[in-house]
Structure 1
Amino acid sequence: MRRALAGVALAVTSMVALSFLIPLALLVQSEARARSTTEAEQRASALAPVLALTTRSRDVQQAVSGLDSERRLAVHLPDGEVIGDRHAPASALARAERERETLAMDTDDGWVYLQPVILAGDRVAVVESFVPRSALTRGVVLSWGVMSLLAVGLVAGSVLVADRLGARVVRSSRELSRASNALGEGDLGIRVEPAGPPELKEAGRAFNSMADRVVGLLATERELVADLSHRLRTPLTALRLEAERMGSAPGSERLTAAITHLQTEIDSIISAARSPLAVGPPGGGTADGSGDGNGDGDGNGDGDGAASGDGAAGSRCEVSGVVRRRVEFWAVLAGQQGRPCGLDVTDEPTPVRLPYDDLAAVVDALIGNVFQHTPEGTAFAVEVERTAGSVVLCVDDAGPGIADPDLALERGVSVGGSTGLGLDIALRAARTTRGDLTIGRGPLGGARVRV
């Protein structure tokens, strides 16, 4: 590109320079010739008054010497005497004397001007003024040289400027190309510093925006894998509790071991899905996340299940209905473990802009953490209430509570020995619907998670 821009600048500037240089060169040559011939004509005209007064050789010679120190003037007297050096052809002299009119002509040596002067007695004297060829072009070569140098300087300057501009464009283009190749090879941290012409700056900003979006999409996809994997915890928990209820029945130990192995594999999938990318998706919903609800008590801290913001924009569901169905599921397991289970659901409409599956994942994550992080026999209660501008879901337990609520809300950080994704499902679901999540002490004495 640099070579192309330099070539264009060279061609355009050369044509412009030549379009001015050639006419100027001809004009300089013409002006130099006109100046020399005008001086010759003036010298010849200056002798006319002298010849009108006298034709004596000595007087005319004195006048010629006073007007011409370079021996370019000559006077042809009527008696045939010539004062000065003769350069004009005899035929031209005869014609000027005969026709009594001025003549100007080019000769082999230069240029000659003949001016007849009519004297008394109808006699004619002819004044000859000669300009050598060197005088006709005096200063022309120097002027041409100066103009040529100026033209060369102009062309060289334009080529240099075009090369610098081309280098700037090429440098920005190469940087953008290098970054694009690096991004294609998997370097997600590559970015460019927008530089160069406005178009390339805009392209650089667009590349950075695209790279950020790619990183965000990849992070979102990986978090989604972790969320979907975490949803398997709910049926696994139920299956594990069922296996424990079997006691010493044949095959119970093998079933329990298989469930434990499957749960370990799910934890590995969640960790592997989250480990490659440290950058969360744009918007900040996934990077903060949710620690495991508590190592001690409540139930929340692992599983991030689902409340992604994707289909939430157009899907709605009734919180009361979803909570009733999920509590009915967990009530069976609670009865097996001797856990008192309370449910208080308002009769008012409780619509939220969230898909059914995402809301069910929120409820399962919160209740599942109660089962995972509190001992058997610990009571818990679920409450749904309607306020003036929102729907509130509360999960209380009678466990030891959450010692560090802020730490529990950090995604991937567990205070209870799990994957550390639990509260993030509820937190992200709340933020998707422009709500929030808080952790505190409930009326049962343990943790209260309020969404």
Structure 2
Amino acid sequence: MTLTTIRRQLTFLVVATILLILVAFFLPLVATVRSISADDRVTQAAVEAEGLVPLLMREEPETLELSLQSLAAGDTDTFSVFLPDGRVLGDSAARSDAVRLAQRGYSLVAAAPGGREVLLSAIGRHEGPIVVRAFVSDAAMYEGVTEALAMLALLGLLLLLIGVLVTFLLGTRLTRPMRELAEVSRRLGRGDLAARARGGGAAELVEVAAALNYLARRISELVKGERERVADLSHRLRTPLTALRLEADLLEDPGERAKLNHTIDQVESTVTDAIKTVRGGDSGPGRCDAAVIVAERMEFWTVLAAEQGRAISGEIATDPLPVAAAGADLSDAFDVLISNIFSHTPDGTNFSVTLAPRPGGGAILEVTDDGPGFADTRVRRGRSGGGSSGLGLDIVRRVTEFSGGRLTLGSAPSGGALVRAELGPP
């Protein structure tokens, strides 16, 4: 699960919780606001209707009619008075079942089409009860409710936005230490052993950061110690090389002496490069012209091949072939491939060397021989089916993969070994 997914899920959880709370709060509130608004408006109409009762006891119908007209002019409600003789004063209204019930002496509030009617039963100057009816429409009962609910909805939206903002800040605070730990891990994986986590956030993350820093320090110490040991070992090789050079100077044949000194110079150069490499650490892939390096090494191996009766075939490109490998590394890798042929095949075994451009840049180096071939085409460091240390082909593999290419082992058409090394471009 990525950190972005964690933040997204945390935001979704908080938003869903806030929405549930708002819905659980808003729906009952809507019903309450509507009920309160309707009750207030009905109560107001009932009070106004009760104000007509004293007039019923002392005024004539004509005077009462004028009072009803005056009352209706200043209000949105409609008022009607049902007299015992069947006349209706004020606004015209049907004599509903609720009105008939009020004529029996009951005062009530009843639902009516489009609103509610407030019915008051009173005794006036006329024979029988008089019913005062006040009609309150739905629009009047719920006037202002829409605006109030809109304000509540805006308030809920504001609370939701605040919740999202708080969640974003909280998610950032929680995931920032995780992102830092992930970045430090990636830097360590790229070889930056100086990377350290600052720590922060929850106690568990602080503990993880401390453990990661401890691991980085231990890796740095181990790598440093290993480099020192390799450098010391490489430096110790200078002593036998010096002795070997003194022995070479005692040779009487100038040609043999020059040949042996040239070989010693190459070995000493390789030892020096190894010391520089382990002292300086990995500095990334180098760059060289594969055509030049392979051509130079072929001059050396051609002489040895002629002495052992080995025929060399193949074609080496003459145009520049830049690859992402140091010249010394490519030279060592090539020497490993050819020396394996001399070590694991009998004298007189022919071999072929081909160097060609690689599609997309780089070069393809292919070495085949007419020997017995590979017993196992897997490259495994420290394991070999030929009685060797098993490090040679692993060196070639690391050079090719570090350049962005790959190493492939197979069988040649003659049944011998085939090694295909693809070298990536700089």
Aligned pairs, how many?
268
Which of 278, 281, 296 does residue 276 from structure 1 map onto? 281
Structure 1 residue 143 and structure 2 residue 163: aligned? no
1:394-428: CA deviations, max 9, x gaps?
A: xxxxxxxxxxxxxxxxxxxxxxxxxxxxxxxxxxx
Alignment match, 2:368 = none
Tell me how far apart the structure 2 counterparts of residues 149 and 108 of structure 1 sit (CA, whole Å). Answer: 33
* Distance change >3 Å, CA 13–CA 60, structure 1 → 2: same
Match for residue 166 of structure 1 among 159, 164, 171: 171
For residue 95 of structure 1, what is the aligned residue in structure 2? 101
Give runs of aligned pairs for residues 42-53 of structure 1, distance below 5 A: 42-52=47-57
Q: Distance in 2 between matches of 1:268 and 1:149?
A: 73
Report the equivalent of 1:33: 38
- Cα distance change of structure 1 residues 81 and 230 upon mapping to structure 2, 3 Å threshold: same
How do 1:216-365 residues align onto structure 2 when only pairs under 5 Å count? Answer: 216-223=221-228, 274-276=279-281
SS in 1 for 2:93: coil
The aligned residue for residue 119 of structure 1 is: 124
Alpha-carbon offset, residue 20 of structure 1: 0.6
Q: Check whether the contact 1:87–1:112 (CA below 8 A) recurs between aligned residues.
A: no
Amino acid in structure 2 at the alignment position of 1:104: V
Note closer, same or farther for the CA distance 1:271–1:117 as it changes in structure 2 (3 Å cut): same
For residues 281 and 173 of structure 2, the distance between their equivalents in structure 1, rounded to whole angstroms, comes to: 36
2:82 to 72, 76, 80: 76
1:58 aligns with 2:62: yes
Aligned amino acid, residue 88 of structure 2? V
Query: Helix, strand or coil: the match of 1:111?
Result: strand
Q: Deviations over 1:416-448 (max 9, x none)?
A: xxxxxxxxxxxxxxxxxxxxxxxxxxxxxxxxx
CA displacement at 1:25 relative to structure 2: 0.8
Does 2:1 match 1:22? Answer: no
Q: Is the 8 A contact 2:56 2:125 kept in 1?
A: no
SS, match of residue 5 in structure 1: helix
Offset at residue 272 of structure 1 (A): 6.1
Structure 1 residues 267 and 93: alpha-carbon distance in aligned structure 2, compared to 1, 3 A threshold: closer
Match for residue 214 of structure 2 among 203, 209, 214: 209
CA distance in 2, matches of 1:207, 1:76: 92
Consecutive unaligned residues in structure 2, runs of 5 or more: 251-256, 283-426
Q: 2:187 aligns with which of 182, 185, 190?
A: 182
> Displacement, 1:27?
0.7
**RCO higher in structure (CA 8 A, sep ≥6):** 1
Secondary structure of 1:106 counterpart: strand
Deviation at residue 119 of structure 1 after TM alignment? 3.1
- The partner residue of 1:8 within 9, 13, 20 is 13
Using the alignment, how far apart are the partners of 2:96 and 2:182 within structure 1? 83
CA distance in 1, matches of 2:145, 2:222: 74
The letter for the 2-side match of 1:73 is F
Report the more deviating stretch, 135-144 or 17-26. 135-144
Instruction: Determine helix, strand or coil for the equivalent of 1:188.
Output: coil
Question: Given that residues 10 and 159 in structure 1 are in contact (C-alpha distance below 8 angstroms), is that contact kept between their aligned partners in structure 2?
Answer: yes
By how many angstroms is 1:128 displaced?
0.6
Equivalent position amino acid for 1:84 in 2:
G
Partner of residue 349, structure 2:
none
When Rg is computed on C-alpha atoms for both structures, the one with the higher figure is 1
Shift of residue 16, structure 1, vs aligned partner: 0.9
Kindly state the Cα deviation for residue 11 of structure 1 after the two structures are TM-superposed: 1.0
d(CA) in 2 for partners of 1:220, 1:264: 23
The answer as to whether partners of 1:3 and 1:163 remain within 8 angstroms in 2 is no
> What is the identity, as a one-letter code, of the residue corresponding to 1:179?
V
Over the aligned positions, Cα root-mean-square deviation in angstroms equals 4.4
1:185-242 deviation line (CA, Å, top 9, x unaligned): 3221223443555544543343233212221232234445567889999x99xxx9xx
User: CA 1:264 to 1:144, structure 2 compared with 1: closer, same or farther past 3 Å?
Assistant: closer
Give the aligned partner of residue 347 of structure 2: none
Q: CA deviation at 1:183?
A: 1.0
The answer on whether the counterparts of 2:107 and 2:121 sit within 8 Å (CA) in structure 1 is yes
In structure 2, relative to structure 1, the CA distance for the partners of 1:264 and 1:85 (3 Å cut) is closer
How far apart, in 1, do the equivalents of 2:29 and 2:96 lie? 38
2:231·2:275 contact (CA, 8 Å) conserved in 1? Answer: yes
| Alpha-carbon distance between aligned partners in 2 of 1:265 and 1:150, rounded to the nearest angstrom | 77
3-state SS, counterpart of residue 114 of structure 1: strand
Deviation readout 1:37-65 (Å, 9 max, x if unpaired): 1111111222222222x140233234434
Q: Distance in 2 between matches of 1:173 and 1:148?
A: 37
SS at 1:125 equivalent? strand
Closer, same or farther: CA 272–83 of 1 in aligned 2, 3 Å: closer
SS class of match (2:51): helix
Choose the corresponding residue for 2:134, options 126, 129, 132: 129
Contact 1:104/1:111 (CA < 8 Å) preserved in 2? Answer: yes
Cα distance change of structure 1 residues 93 and 265 upon mapping to structure 2, 3 Å threshold = closer
Determine if contact 1:73/1:85 at 8 Å carries over to the other structure. yes
Shift of the 181–121 alpha-carbon distance from structure 1 to 2, 3 Å rule, reads closer
1:8-30 per-position Cα deviation (integer Å, ceiling 9, x unaligned)? 12211111111111111111111
Change (3 A) 1:88 1:111: farther
